[in-house]
Amino acid sequence: MPIAMIVHGGAWAIPDDQVEAHLAGCRAALETGWAILEGSGSALDACEAAVRLMEDDPIFDAGTGSHLTAAGTVELDAALMDGRTLRYGAVANLRRVRNPISLARRLLEGPGTMLVGEGAEQFAERQGLALCSNEELIVERERQLWARWRAGQSSTDSAAGAEATVGGHDTVGAIALDGAGNLVAANSTGGTPFKLPGRVGDTPLVGCGLFADTNSGAAVCTGWGESIVRVTLARRAVELLERGVPPQAAAELAVRTLARSVSGGSGGCIVLTPDGRVGLAWNTRRMAYAYRQEGGAAVWGV
């Protein structure tokens, strides 16, 4: 079976001075995952490793460097889905876990499917994953953005106000096809800027932020989570693949559906098929991405 992998670093109005850092992060994540696939490793291992790297890269809204909530804290969500078994692990509202994707992996292989908040962190401890302080996840860039937003906010929190302050938001994600023919999808996020504490978007919700089925394909989404959830965007993209739509067209149709169905629906979608073909589309200013297919060179862009 061929191997293939695609990653994204978020669909939003990535500022000019952050483009190179986003591209470098996506390329590094792809290289990390590709080395695992090329060494006959599993798609699960490749996706976890790639997303972990992006969680540790403060340029992305995932793990360290994530956007702050309205309360000035970091809350993290992540998910991982195995296309062969349809098992998944999802976690949300984590405040003390540096790499949520690794906790999602433990959950996928363990007793449940989704855990949130304190219960998820207790599970992390039982699994031997070290906890960190919330402060360790905060970077100065996000602290300053939060302070500016806090100084100028009205009495009513609004997504529009967040958009005006930071220009958007993002998520990170990956899909891998391994030599055994398995497809895996993964994603991780710090959520929208200045979100209400406890808010959960599309990222950890199967069928919304991600979906993988080895028989038909996999999709991972990024963008404004509330819009993505309303149209179950990832499942829609895979349904298009099931109907025989080519992957590039499936990604484009999925994003058009998002824009058409929901007022202000914006975001992006990456797709990978069981035979290693990729698709990607977005309706935001930019989306950072990188991909590679067996026999070809790596491709990246925004």
> Tens digit of pLDDT for each residue in 168-177?
557 999 999 9
What single string gives the DSSP state of each residue in 198-242?
T---STTSBTTTEEEETTTEEEEEEE-HHHHHHTTHHHHHHHHHH
**Spatial separation of the C-alpha atoms in residues 209 and 172, rounded to whole Å:** 11
Tell whether the model's pLDDT for residue 163 goes beyond 70: no
**Spatial separation of the C-alpha atoms in residues 1 and 144, rounded to whole Å:** 48
Least confident of 73-77, 120-124, 149-153: 149-153
> Tens digit of pLDDT for each residue in 229-247?
999 999 999 999 999 999 9
From the candidates 64, 171, 214, 273, give the one annotated as an active-site residue.
171
Mean pLDDT of 264-290: 96
Strands 217-223 and 267-272, how do they pair? antiparallel
Q: pLDDT > 70: what percent of the chain?
A: 95
pLDDT of residue 242: 98
**Spatial separation of the C-alpha atoms in residues 106 and 232, rounded to whole Å:** 25
Tell whether the model's pLDDT for residue 132 goes beyond 90: yes
Which domains does the chain carry? 4-295 (3.60.20.30)
> Tens digit of pLDDT for each residue in 70-119?
999 999 999 999 999 999 999 999 999 999 999 999 999 987 799 999 99
The yes-or-no answer on residue 257 being catalytic is no
Tell whether the model's pLDDT for residue 69 goes beyond 50: yes
HEC letters along 14-28: CCHHHHHHHHHHHHH
pLDDT of residue 244: 97
Q: pLDDT > 90: what percent of the chain?
A: 91
What single string gives the DSSP state of each residue in 241-266?
HHTT--HHHHHHHHHHHHHHHSTT--
Mean pLDDT of 29-44: 98
pLDDT of residue 191: 95
pLDDT of residue 160: 46
pLDDT of residue 110: 84
Rounded to two decimals, the pTM is 0.95
Task: State whether residue 55 is helix, strand or coil.
Answer: helix
Tell whether the model's pLDDT for residue 58 goes beyond 80: yes
Token pair 């992996």 is found at 105
Tell whether the model's pLDDT for residue 49 goes beyond 90: yes
Tell whether the model's pLDDT for residue 22 goes beyond 50: yes
Tell whether the model's pLDDT for residue 227 goes beyond 90: yes
- Tell me what the pLDDT averaged over the chain comes to: 94
**Spatial separation of the C-alpha atoms in residues 285 and 179, rounded to whole Å:** 35
Q: Of 301, 268, 97, which Cα lies nearest the Cα of 171? A: 268
